[in-house]
Structure 1
Amino acid sequence: MLPCLILVIVVLVIYFPLTKTFYQQDEWHGYGMYLANGPAMIFSSATYLSKNLGSIFLDTNGLINIFLGEGRIFTRFLQYEFYKEFPLDVTPVAWFSIILHATNTILVFLLAKKIFRKDLHAFFGSLFFAVNSVSQSSITWIAASVNTLPSTTLILLAVLFYFKFVDLFENKWLFCSFISIYLSLFFKETGLFLFLLLPLFSFVYKKYSIIEFIKKYWYFFLTMGLIVVFRLYEFKSVPHEEVLFLTGSSKYFLDSLVVRSVLYPLTSLSLSIVPPDIFLNFARYITNVYYPFVPEGQFILIAQTAVLDLLAIVLSAVIGVISFIILKLTEIKIRKHVIFWFIFLLASFLPYIIISKSYSYLESRYYYVASVAWAVIFAWVLKVCEEKIKIRLLQFLILIAFLFFLFAHINAAQKNLNQLVKDSQVRIGIIDQIKRIKPTLENNKNIFYITGDSDFYLVGNKVPFQTGMGYNLMSLYYNSGKIPTEFLDQSYLFEIGSKGYKESSEYGFGYFSDLDSLRSVFKEKKIEKTAVKAFYYNSKANTIEDITSQIIIGL
């Protein structure tokens, strides 16, 4: 099928550079968990609730939590296999991401074609899904792609099965839809909202008595109810460092969830289709024009939060009005499908209401499922324009405008990906040079000191890594047998900018980027000078210089 072939080619052309990237952030942590735990990493977080909610869960060894999707064990299995077979090699995972995104794009095309019956409209709608720069990190961030992409594949299959059920009202298709949603939870809980949306929207296609409705859909509601209750109880009752970004320990816990359940979908309706740089620049312009008195130190914060939220709500309102008008021009059968996708779009953000955000946009990967809905909606808009607008020139201009819109996304996606490739090659160069100078660790106690001519991401971080360089080095040298397993398992030195020295039994490891801290620990712990390995990073030449002899003299 020609449209599918073109869509696959587009995905390959845009995302092929992903094969030249390297670990960014959480990939380092995942690799460390693999080294520390081996196959046990697959279940390492699946028993979190079992450790906190009483003996009944301890007795089942976390089976109830695994049953409810806790721990994303399918995702962890994929991560384990990739780390095991391809350590420190992103290429296989990159191809996995590219192929799965292409697969999802084809599934979106099939969904749109099933609804609108024309290849051309479905093709252009799917093209938006393929190139959407807002949701790009779902493909380009390897740590996110292994859960978001397969989860979305199963969500798309669930919707395809659901529409098959709506056409034939055969229960086997409804059950297939349920199974697809349920399995998607073991990659990521993104599709949780479908347990509610699909049964309720069935009223639009068929009339049910209350008893009939409950008999047919009870297992949808039971599954969702159990998952939601357990998750909220976890976030509310078990505060710890991994959920500090949630509102679990706040007295405004429920208030926050209610407000977000309204504002997240409302703002994201428009944010999910506008490239962030374009919208952010416009928000800064409006802030500068309308609020010229805002202090310089608060300008960016206000522009990227309150002002951008306001602009997003205004644009969402405009989209809503235009969509309402176009719906009036749409035949009833198609209208039902379009309303489904608008509800799908808004509801897709509800699983994220437990997550706070630092500015108006949520993290990029959270827009991937919403892009599915927008692809179908754009296909619908183009279909109505072709059918209702009789002036060929106007039809042509609308198509050209849509193509410019797509090119804006392609340009943003390529810009982001090119920067990612550039950063990755720099990081690969640093790792290769350090390993060339210091192939392995001979001492039981080791301290790395790295300084340089620049700071990256925060003051004192002398190498361009978005995680703690100490953790990265422990992962790199773990096979030397000199790194205590618990250091990796406890995420020691993982946070960006982390420094310090720690011992376990006869082993010790430390990382520093400032000489005074190194001297202090060196004297306090009475460490031998042979434990120190020092480097200087020249960011302009991207070179690592061994300065161990100079640093040791000053200790």
Structure 2
Amino acid sequence: MNRIFSLTKENRFAILVFTSLLVIVVGTYYQLFSTFYQQDEWLALGRMMIEPVFAYFSHFSLLALIGGGARFISYPLQYIMYRAAPFQIVQFAFFSIVFHFLNTALFYLLAKEMTKSRFIAVISGLFFATASIGSQAVTWNSASVPTLLSTFFLFLSLILYFRSIEKPTKKLFYTSVALGIVSFLFKESTYFIFILLPLVSYLFSKENNSFLSIVHKHRILVGYGTVSILAKLANLFFVYQGETTGFVTRNSYPLFRLASHFILYPVEAFSQIFIHPTALWSISNFLGMTNYQRLWDTEQAIVAVQTIGGELVSWIFSTAFIAFFCLLYVCSKQYRKVLMFSLVFFVLSFMAYAPLDKTNAYLESRYYYVGVSAMAIIVGISMYVLRNWATEKLKISYSSASFIGLLFIIIFSYFQIQHIHTLLEKDIQIAHERKQFLSMLNTAVPVLPESPIFYLDGSHDYYVAHNKAPFQQGTGYTLMVWYYKSGKIPANFLQEPFLWDITSEGYKQTQGKGFGYFHDMNNLKESLKSNQLPLTAIVGLYYDSENKRLINITEQVRNEIIKDDSSDSTL
């Protein structure tokens, strides 16, 4: 008992920190349990419904598998989670909260391992735990499993690597390298582990190693990393060139765009980590109105605000950050190596997304998750330097200066948490309507006819014109996934994926089974005639979005078609 008590007492600070971080993470993301599928989850579930887990890998080229693009360690876990409880969110919410906490705890240990300062580690851990800019990695089911697990093994790899420098053993070294590769295989965006571990050796190793000796020491890691990166680029530029939406290869001058993104994305992210998009848009809008009035009077003003204007403002604030970083580097002799490591870590984490094209000044939120950790260390060291300056120059007591620094980061974290709650509340409102729609769908259409053809009209457009259901993906595909267990939906339609695009409509038939979805009555009529389909296959629905009512209008739709056919016959 005395031994247990002494161990607890010895580690009481760590227990306090981990308990506090757990409370903060749960308090930040507890609303996840009230959310629902957003978009890509429907495609993932649809394909998982129709094929065994290992069939997934047949859809990828050998180059994609070598390059980590298939994420073949993540997929089996996602498969289990989707198949175990289709249309449920609990397992994903629990997973996200647990692993974001574990990542935060590991990151605290990593920061403490690098800096040997509990103060820096606490500040860094709080910043990482509550940063809203990367919250999509936690809140979006399609991203949470690969991103959170990849980050988990990344942090674990780095912790063990730093310990292998302090106490050099082959076991620690090779375990760290293996975990780094595992991190990459969970999600290929952590490719930079192939550069980061050798960099740690160069900066922190007690031995005076040459460049060639470091490369030789990490030959397995560097060799596999080189092959993987070349495979990724070959796959992007040659195998699927122009086929992948959102990548530079879909546009002109792909190599130039790729090279420019290597510079633009990390530099812009310096400021975007701290500035919420709505604040950035406000600044961009003000600058545009005061300097480019003619453009701001046009319909394209909003596009300019969120693209060129947003990037300009990002560069202005990033320039200020770079100046601050240089000052911090000069003032912090003790942590110069850690600062250099964090800077390179940050830059490399965004270079992974250079093949992607942005839709506005910001990348997708989930892409900032790993980069936030590198910035958190810089923030922690900044607070440490300011605390020491305050005690030396302003004669503030050490404890008071520490308290002020901690209070500052707590206030910052509070506003970050509030913003995450605002985002989640919006997601919950959308989720409630979607779940209500699906529940009403079961009541309105409990049994499908053979080769069903859905027609949906409504009082409101969602996201784009003619999309009458509250979903971000094709309503036709959503209906096929929802009714797949009825046995009346062709499996290959889910694999294609037929009717996935949000505006898509149409009818297809295969092996005696068919399915159709329409939002345009004329197109429905034409399809019925051209495919010689019976009226009994039609399922008509009307969604009253104001009153949240789904009405079965099958008889009205069939009667209208009969009426039109009679008119045509008379003519």
Range into which the TM-score falls when normalised by the shorter chain: over 0.9
Match of 2:363 in 1: 362
TM-score by length of structure 1 reads 0.93
Q: Which amino acid is the alignment partner of residue 311 of structure 1?
A: V
1:502 lines up with 2:503 in the alignment: no
Tell me, in whole angstroms, the C-alpha distance in 2 between the residues paired with 1:194 and 1:252: 29
Q: Distance in 2 between matches of 1:213 and 1:541?
A: 66
Change (3 A) 1:254 1:65: closer
Q: 1:251 to 1:420 in 2, by over 3 A?
A: closer
Distance 1:247 1:512, change over 3 A: same
Consecutive unaligned residues in structure 2, runs of 5 or more: 1-14, 562-571
Shift of 1:238: 2.3
* 1:301 paired to 2:303: yes
- The superposition leaves residues 440-474 of structure 1 with CA deviations (integer Å, 9 ceiling, x where unpaired) of 3241x111111111001000001110111111110
SS of 2:38's equivalent in the other structure is: coil
**Is the CA contact (8 Å cut-off) linking 1:237 and 1:249 kept in structure 2?**
no
From 38, 50, 53, the equivalent of 1:24 is 38
- Opposite residue 449 of structure 1, the aligned amino acid is Y
Write out per-residue CA displacement over residues 182-216 of structure 1, whole angstroms, 9 at most, x where no aligned residue.
Answer: 11122211210120132134222342235423321
After superposition, the Cα gap between the structure-2 partners of 1:398 and 1:161, relative to the gap in structure 1 and judged at 3 Å, is: closer
Q: Which residue of 1 aligns with 2:415?
A: 408
User: How far apart in 1 are the matches of 2:222 and 2:165?
Assistant: 19
> Counterpart of 2:222 in structure 1: which amino acid?
F
Aligned partner of residue 243 in structure 1, secondary structure? coil
Q: How many correspondences in the alignment?
A: 538
Secondary structure (helix, strand or coil) at the match of 2:357 reads coil
Describe how 1:222-261 pairs up with structure 2 within 5 A: 222-239=223-240, 242-248=243-249, 250=251, 252-261=253-262
Within 5 A, what are the aligned runs for 1:1-400?
1-45=15-59, 48-50=60-62, 66-205=65-204, 206-239=207-240, 242-248=243-249, 250=251, 252-294=253-295, 295-332=297-334, 334-390=335-391, 391=394, 392=396, 400=407
Aligned to 2:475: 469
**Aligned equivalents of 1:212, 1:193: Cα separation in 2:** 19
Give the letter aligned to residue 276 of structure 1: P
Give yes or no for contact 1:385–1:395 (8 Å, CA) kept in 2. Answer: no
Deviation of 1:388 (Å): 1.6
Flag the structure with larger Rg. 2
Q: Deviations over 1:284-318 (max 9, x none)?
A: 22222222121421111111111211111121111
In structure 2, what is the Cα distance between the partners aligned to 1:176 and 1:67?
Answer: 21
Structure 1 residue 431 corresponds to structure 2 residue 438? yes
Report SS of the residue matched to 1:458: coil
Shift of 1:521: 1.1
Please identify, of 160-169 and 391-400, the stretch whose mean Cα deviation from structure 2 is larger.
Answer: 391-400
Deviations 1:356-401 (A, max 9, x none): 1111100111000011112222211111111121234887766555
Q: Distance in 1 between matches of 2:211 and 2:402?
A: 46
Structure 1 residues 238 and 67, CA gap change in structure 2 (3 angstroms): closer
C-alpha distance in structure 1 between counterparts of 2:123 and 2:214, whole Å:
37
Secondary structure of 1:488 counterpart: helix
- Report Cα offsets for 1:412-445 as digits up to 9, x if no partner: 11110000011001000000110122223241x1
1:510-525 equivalent positions in 2, closer than 5 A = 510-525=516-531
Length-normalised TM-score, structure 2 = 0.90
Alpha-carbon spacing, 1:251–1:448, altered in 2? closer, same or farther (3 Å): closer
Q: Distance in 2 between matches of 1:501 and 1:174?
A: 58
Q: Distance in 1 between matches of 2:211 and 2:148?
A: 36
Residues 237 and 248 in structure 1, CA contact (< 8 A), matched pair in contact too = no
Deviation at 1:482, TM superposition (A): 1.0
Which residue does 1:55 correspond to in 2?
none
Identity %, equivalent residues: 30
Q: Which residue of 1 aligns with 2:540?
A: 534
2:452 to 442, 446, 449: 446
Measure the CA separation in 2 of the matches of 1:262 and 1:458. Answer: 34
Contact persistence 1:440–1:477 (CA under 8 A): no
* 1:15 shift after superposition: 0.7
Q: How far did residue 90 of structure 1 move? A: 0.9
Structure-2 separation of matches of 1:373 and 1:456: 38
- Structure 1: where are the runs of 5+ without partners? 51-63
2:376 partner letter: A
CA shift for structure 1 position 120: 3.8
* Residue type at the aligned position of 1:12: V
Output the amino acid matched with 2:233.
L
Hey, what's the Cα distance between the residues in 2 that align with 1:331 and 1:147? 37
Q: What residue is the counterpart of 1:492 in the other structure?
A: 498
SS state of the match for residue 454, structure 2? strand
Structure 1 contact 41–80 (Cα < 8 Å) conserved: no
Q: 2: CA distance between counterparts of 1:41 and 1:97?
A: 26
Q: C-alpha root-mean-square deviation of aligned residues, in Å?
A: 1.9
Deviations 1:483-518 (A, max 9, x none): 111100101111112111111121110111121221
